Structure 1
Amino acid sequence: MRFVYGIAILFSINFYGCDSKPKVIVEDSSEVSKNTPVNPNQDAQPSGSGAMGAKMDVHQVKTLDVMQAERYTYLQVSEGNRTFWIAASKMEAKKGEVFLYRGGLLKTNFESLEFNRTFDTLYLVSSIINAENHPGSQPSMSNNGSGSANASAVTTSIDINAVKGALKLSELIKNKEKYAGQTVTVAGECVKVNNGIMDRNWIHIHDGSESDGKPLDLTITTKQLIPLGSKIALKGTIQINKDFGAGYKYGVIMEDATVLQGL
């Protein structure tokens, strides 16, 4: 599931205070950009000034109950020892599912006319995603730092020699410590795309390299919009053991990549 967009919820959601206007405790001023049509030559426009890199701002919650209103979805969730309610623009949700959200507008003593009930504590959330759709929601990284379970099972063969200075994924992943912090070039086929998450776009590439009979996968972040299935060369900075919070880590990842050429 992609991020649920609906910053308007902060202003137009139909809640009313029991005795007075709701008290705003915490305000989330950031806004998540909508996905835009894929265009490899166009940069994505970042939304708001706050990136999701601040781990403490990302909450991982488990759904205990779901209430669907006409325009909004209410979730009773747990985080650690806390149990509370959040509300977001209408979306699909089931008991037991895990969601990630950022920030939120905390309000107290709200009465929902639609449900004829009062919520002691309610967070209005505009940036929320099912944990399964988080760009880092792949299985535990193997020792070589790769992961490919959530990327399409594409058999790809890329002529690395056609791209000057490009590294094979097998070389990069095997010797990731050697390339940590360096700007390198890789080439491959884009097998998975998640646009507009954490103010950046996320892609996975394969180049034909394999480990134990499975394609090696490299996750790349970029501001550019890259179509699924594109065969491209990219240049970016290699980071290892990257932790994005909420339990999602990468053994190796390329960040701030730019497209050099098509293949």
Structure 2
Amino acid sequence: MQFKQVLLCLSLVLFSTRLIAAETLKGEILKTQTAGGYTYILLKTDSEDIWVATMEIPVKKGQTVELKSGMVMKNFESKSLNRVFDRIVFSSGLVSSDNGLHSHGGVYHSHDANTDHTHSHQSDSEDPIAALSKGTWKQKDHQHSVEKHSEADSYTVEELYRKGKELNLRTVRVKGKVTKVLSQIMNKNWIHLQDGTGNPSQGTHDLVVTSQELPKVGDVVSMAGTLYYEKDFGSGYSYKVIVEEASIVK
């Protein structure tokens, strides 16, 4: 096989498995639907027509918008719309639109003095955007009191945030109540644990743990895994601390 053919094959493989969309997605809205707290947009770009999902925003067919990039997911099922998208981009927000709409801190504003387009997203959804866009979509704060284990490698949620830098790449154990679970996103389950420690206003009360195990919301579990400090998945999806490849332990 000639070099050019090999290069072409590699390019096709990389394109077909790409997880991150282009830096921004700009085009005309061909179709839009809002459900479950999210807006789904069929966007006509220069290169293709593509579905994009983002937090609920006041847009309509025919508008030109520019959206931030995000994770690309294949065969995604939206329960709120009762349909499966062959391919969809989960955008982390709007950059701009032809009606002056822009985002600031998760709240959308319009420069049009005659139109009130201010919108703040506050609803939960079954869709995975909330798990992969921490800080963009609000989650309900919960108060739980769970006593930590006595083992040397055991920490509270607050301690993991406070000591994250020194614990980077070390195996840690944490016990907490499962407040949210999103299954099989990027081939792993995303589990939110809270133990009553930490500061909700600073986001240090909620720990994300990834695992192949699947506890239920409301379960109190102990999990052990590798802590990563300032883990960046790209495209704006980053975590101050996250525990990966965790398993449930006694």
TM-score by shorter chain over 0.5 = yes
Question: Structure with the greater relative contact order (CA < 8 A, sep ≥ 6): 1 or 2?
Answer: 1
Partner of 1:59: 21
Partner of 1:170: 158
CA contact (8 A) 2:72 2:89 kept: no
Q: Deviations over 1:179-220 (max 9, x none)?
A: 100001000011111111111110111111022767611111
Shift of 1:150: 3.9
d(CA) in 1 for partners of 2:44, 2:176: 40
Partner of 2:225: 236
Partner of 1:209: 197
Shift of 1:98: 6.2
Shift of 1:76: 1.7
Give the alignment partner of residue 254 of structure 1, picking from 228, 240, 243: 243
Is it true that 1:85 corresponds to 2:49 in the alignment? yes
Q: 1:245 to 1:163 in 2, by over 3 A?
A: same
Partner of 2:120: none
Is it true that 1:160 corresponds to 2:148 in the alignment? yes
Shift of 1:224: 1.1
Helix, strand or coil at the partner of 1:158: coil
Return 206-215 or 184-193, whichever deviates more.
Answer: 206-215
Partner of 1:75: 42
Partner of 1:191: 179
Aligned CA RMSD, in angstroms, stands at: 3.7
Q: 1:101 to 1:157 in 2, by over 3 A?
A: closer
Q: 1:103 to 1:225 in 2, by over 3 A?
A: closer
Q: Which runs of 5 or more residues in structure 2 are unaligned? A: 1-10, 33-39, 75-84, 93-127
CA contact (8 A) 1:99 1:128 kept: no
Q: Deviations over 1:119-147 (max 9, x none)?
A: xxxxxx7343544642221217xxxxxxx
The structure 1 segments of at least 4 consecutive aligned residues displaced by more than 6 Å after TM superposition are: 27-30, 212-215
d(CA) in 1 for partners of 2:181, 2:218: 9
CA contact (8 A) 1:58 1:103 kept: no
Give the alignment partner of residue 102 of structure 1, picking from 72, 77, 92: 72
Q: Deviations over 1:13-69 (max 9, x none)?
A: xxxxxxxxxxxx946897xxxxxxxxxxxxxxxxxxx6xxxxx6411646741338x
d(CA) in 1 for partners of 2:183, 2:211: 9
Helix, strand or coil at the partner of 1:171: helix
d(CA) in 2 for partners of 1:238, 1:181: 5
Partner of 1:139: 135
Partner of 2:215: 226
Q: What amino acid is the match of 1:175?
A: K
Scaled by the length of structure 1, the TM-score of the pair is: 0.54
Shift of 1:155: 1.0
Q: Which runs of 5 or more residues in structure 1 are unaligned? A: 1-24, 31-49, 51-55, 105-124, 141-148
Query: Aligned residues: percent identity?
Result: 25
CA contact (8 A) 1:190 1:228 kept: yes
d(CA) in 1 for partners of 2:27, 2:183: 25
Count of residues in Structure 1 that have an aligned counterpart in Structure 2:
175
Partner of 1:126: 86
d(CA) in 2 for partners of 1:152, 1:167: 23
Helix, strand or coil at the partner of 1:210: coil
